[in-house]
Amino acid sequence: MRVGDIEILPLAAETMGVRSLCTAVATPDLRILFDPSAGLAKRYGLEPHLLEYRALQNSLERIFVEARKADVLSVSHYHFDHIRPGFTNFRYNLSSREELQLMFEDKVVLAKDNRENINPSQRRRGYYFQKDVEDVVRTIKWSDGKRFYFEDTMLTYSPPLSHGPESSPLGYVVATCVEHDSARFVFAPDVQGPVQQEVVDILLKMNPDLMVVGGPPIYLHVFSETHRNAARKMLCRMASVVPVLVVDHHLQRSPSWERWLSPVYQRAEESGNCVTTMAEIAGEEVRCLEADRQLLYETDPPPEEFMVWTQATDEYKNSHMPPL
């Protein structure tokens, strides 16, 4: 999809079958890849379905190709569905240190500061990420609240935004505005709605023509009814202002995501705007495989070889590829 001279290509997301919000963006001056990773997780007491692993494998292949084409790799935070782990994990990430280093070799990296405004878990992950790639990248620059110029393209990073409700134990993320001429694209992952008025104000001040935003995790019991109502209210506000609002990620882990989002669709329509998903702007069918996992195991049972792998020890699954 294009906004002026900015081309936006979603590579992976929940509506595309995996946990991710990875997006490739190109302007006449710059190719940048946002949050180059994808992953899976256990749900409903079930390991990911065979179709989910195949979707992950395909997504990671696309991400790697786009990463090698990119001038800049941008990291909003250090959860593993947004940045590749620097260790072997075949169970949920299909990752290795070698893959991470090959992906980031000779790249400019603009990343969330791994020392300030960060929770202990992400601080550790950010520290090891820096150690894994610092000898192979061209440079790493902390992006929080900063602005970068690449000829006529400007990248503006937000200050650290809460990963969900205020004082969330999940830490902080940074959002990014890509601007070329008068066109603006905003990438706002894992704000979980947003829930907070302050976060919405920051995002709308960027005046986006198209925004990719991480929706709320309504599948989690700890995400309270108060938070859900606040998230929907904030999304309705954004849908009334932003011409194209792409809502994806945590929200689509719930089978009821579309029904929950219906007031937001309605507000956008009333305002002459559009609410959509990553799959749709990529021109693909919406496939929320994690949300449909129980049904997939019932209607499309995997081969016995795969089921044996799912029943192995965690240690075995971490070190051995699933039979795809």
Q: Which range of residues forms the domain containing residue 69?
A: 2-319
> What percentage of residues in the chain have a pLDDT greater than 90?
97
CATH code: domain of residue 214: 3.60.15.10
For 263-311, what is each residue's pLDDT tens digit?
999 999 999 999 999 999 999 999 999 999 999 999 999 999 999 999 9
Q: What is the pLDDT of residues 70-116, one digit of tens each?
A: 999 999 999 999 999 999 999 999 999 999 999 999 999 999 999 99
Task: State the pLDDT at residue 169.
Answer: 78
| pTM over 0.95, yes/no | yes
Q: 185: which DSSP letter?
A: E
For 90-155, give the secondary structure using H, E and C: CCCCCECHHHHHHHHCCCEEEECCCCCCCCHHHHHHHHHHHHHHCCCCCEEEECCCCEEEECCEEE
Q: How confident is the model at residue 316 (pLDDT cuts 50, 70, 90)?
A: very high
Q: Structural domain tally of the chain?
A: 1
Q: In this structure, what DSSP letter does residue 39 have?
A: B
pLDDT the model gives residue 166: 77
The answer to whether residue 215 sits within a structural domain is: yes
Is 227 a domain residue? Answer: yes
Residue 141 lies in a domain: yes
In this prediction, residue 139 carries a pLDDT of: 98
In a domain, 324, yes or no: no
> Cα separation of 14 and 261, whole Å?
15
pLDDT, tens digit, 9 for 90 and up, residues 206-257: 999 999 999 999 999 999 999 999 999 999 999 999 999 999 999 999 999 9
Q: Is 187 helix (H, G, I), strand (E, B) or coil?
A: strand
What DSSP designation does 245 have?
Answer: E
* Residue 63 domain flag: yes
User: Is residue 24 included in any domain, yes or no?
Assistant: yes
Does residue 230 form part of some domain?
A: yes
Whether residue 313 is contained in a domain is answered as yes
